[in-house]
Amino acid sequence: MTTNLLDRPALARGWNRRSVGVLVLGLMFLCGAAAGALAMNLGVHTRLHQPAFDTPQGRALNFEKLQKELELTAPQSDQVQSILNDMWQYYRTVLSDSKARVEQVLTPEQREKFERLLQQQPR
């Protein structure tokens, strides 16, 4: 005598819906964690989160990209590197001077808030 799975009431009632739900959610979480770990291993995170352009790493990365895209010769690379270094220095000077000028017109309490706002800015 063969029995159909649906004819087995004990098997049909053996799984608690709540237990199945918890098990499915747990498996989904583990699959997501494994996929995230794999993505981090493959370097996806570093490609998505490039260093800020005003950091040494960001400057080097941007210069390398510029070098490759424009196919710069060695003398051109040296000249462009020098020009970009001057630009970065100018950029830093303008930021510093602007910050000092803004702070001159603020009250001490406003300067504290201003400093906190600057620290919260993404880099």
**Which residue ranges make up each domain of the chain?**
5-44, 52-120
Instruction: Give the pTM.
Output: 0.48
CA–CA dist 38, 27 (Å, integer): 16
pLDDT of residue 48: 66
Q: What is the pLDDT of residues 65-89, one digit of tens each?
A: 989 999 999 999 999 999 988 988 8
CA–CA dist 55, 57 (Å, integer): 5
Q: What is the pLDDT of residues 2-60, one digit of tens each?
A: 555 555 555 455 678 888 888 999 999 999 998 888 877 776 666 666 777 677 888 88
CA–CA dist 55, 11 (Å, integer): 63
Q: Coil, strand, or helix at residue 51?
A: coil
Contact 100, 111 (CB under 8 A): no
Contact 89, 81 (CB under 8 A): no
Q: What is the pLDDT of residues 109-122, one digit of tens each?
A: 999 999 999 888 76
Q: Return the closest-CA partner of residue 65 out of 75, 53, 48.
A: 53
